Chains A and B, each alone.
Chain A
């Protein structure tokens, strides 16, 4: 998110944070869908990003399907930024890796931002 907030510096740039609501989330979550998570607003402030250009968008589906839809209405995204959590199963194997799957099928430019290295 920090990378995105720092890159989106043109006056016309909007940042839309997309959340994929899966089957299990419907089962387990009672959180209101249209409320921007406070931690996201906090992060925007930390990065001096104007909250008026920040939008929270929840779509039903698995992460891959939802991310591949952002190019279409109603979002009409120009660029897709993915945070790679490094949870993919194994290098070179597609299954279980949202980033690889999205990059393979996306019809818009995609930037994959790795998570910071963690101490082991």
Chain B
């Protein structure tokens, strides 16, 4: 199968010396793609910026104005984690546009696996606020473009941190199913099992918090047992993946214990959620150990396109099984409670 990636856009101007969200991340990811040696099966979607109208589908205009002005004025620290520079506004718009370009190429070919290798990442960005290294919510912008075409979108987020921004943006949208596996407790302090969606989208959010030390088997079982039935009911027409690789055991940002081999399995599982080939696109989120990032992206994309790659053995034996069982119960209780309230409110 062909791999469709975004054309490289120079992101060196978005850098804060010593900050882990750095330009060398993109280089590591791009070398992982090159090492697949896909030849003519590697398609490059031309770089472009997301337009204001495309960004307004998920972000408030006042926030876009503020962010643009902040960067134009030279940038600085937005919060204790998040920075912007003079170049960040343009780079962030290109990061959001890269996802749109990859989806456009996939739709025109009606085939392929999409991979959007950009930074800054996006899944923490709220509709009206930057946070967690994220300025614009790239995967949400892409999902919104598909919603405008009448599609039903599964956003599967396997970054080690909960994608609070994506959850917030689609909280009340019944045409988006947001599924997240993440370490908890951990930044950003959201993503509990009882968060199952807003009034208009009950059961359209699935949060699977995992304990520190959890291994790939727990994460895979959680997706199969907790998320799969909800995904089957939702019947997505597209699968967009917030593909963070900071759940790798070597990553310094968290304590999950996944290996590159686990990410291969996740790629295959994610593909099984799509209605057919040509409907899965991955968006780079976190991943801060460059060697682990390179190996994980290589293994993930290799599995996704059916290439032969060498990956680390899958991890297993860590904690998390009992917690996953509790997640299932808490989720169901929250969904039942919301449905019960809904029935009460609509009663004559």
User: Which of B31-39, B127-135, B325-333 is the interface stretch?
Assistant: B127-135
In the bound complex, residues from chain B placing their C-beta under 8 Å from that of A96 are: 70, 76-79
Contact across chains for B129 and A101 when beta carbons are under 8 A apart:
yes
A21 within 8 A of B: yes
- B107 CB, min distance to chain A CBs, angstroms: 34
Within 8 A of A (CB), among B193-237: none
In the bound complex, residues from chain A placing their C-beta under 8 Å from that of B164 are: 65
Residue of B76, B129, B186, B254 near A64 (CB, 8 A) is B129
Interface of B is mostly: loop
The digit string for B158-181, where 1 denotes a CB below 8 A from any CB of A, is: 000100100000000000000000
Once bound together, how far apart are the Cα atoms of A98 and B82, in whole Å? Answer: 13
Once bound together, how far apart are the Cα atoms of A23 and B20, in whole Å? Answer: 10
Shortest Cβ distance from A20 into B: residue: B80
Given the known interface contacts A21-B187, A65-B131, the answer about A95 and B81 at a Cβ–Cβ threshold of 8 Å is no
- A84 CB, min distance to chain B CBs, angstroms: 15
Given the known interface contacts A26-B253, A89-B70, the answer about A61 and B187 at a Cβ–Cβ threshold of 8 Å is yes
A35 within 8 A of B: no
Interface of A is mostly: mixed
In the bound complex, residues from chain B placing their C-beta under 8 Å from that of A21 are: 187
Number of interface residues of A (CB under 8 A): 25
Once bound together, how far apart are the Cα atoms of A61 and B81, in whole Å? Answer: 10
Given the known interface contacts A62-B80, A64-B131, the answer about A26 and B189 at a Cβ–Cβ threshold of 8 Å is no
In the bound complex, residues from chain A placing their C-beta under 8 Å from that of B66 are: 93-95
In the bound complex, residues from chain A placing their C-beta under 8 Å from that of B78 are: 95-96
Contact across chains for A26 and B187 when beta carbons are under 8 A apart:
yes
A25 within 8 A of B: yes
The digit string for B261-297, where 1 denotes a CB below 8 A from any CB of A, is: 0000000000000000000000000001000000000
- B223 CB, min distance to chain A CBs, angstroms: 23
Once bound together, how far apart are the Cα atoms of A93 and B75, in whole Å? Answer: 12
Given the known interface contacts A64-B79, A90-B73, A98-B79, the answer about A22 and B67 at a Cβ–Cβ threshold of 8 Å is no
A27 within 8 A of B: yes
4 additional A-B pairs beyond A95-B70, A95-B78, beta carbons within 8 Å, are: A60-B189, A62-B82, A65-B190, A95-B69
Q: Jot down 10 A-B pairs with beta carbons below 8 A, ordered by A.
A: A22-B80, A26-B186, A26-B253, A27-B288, A60-B188, A62-B81, A62-B131, A65-B188, A95-B66, A96-B70
A-B residue pairs, 6 tightest by C-beta: A60-B189, A61-B189, A22-B81, A22-B80, A62-B131, A23-B81
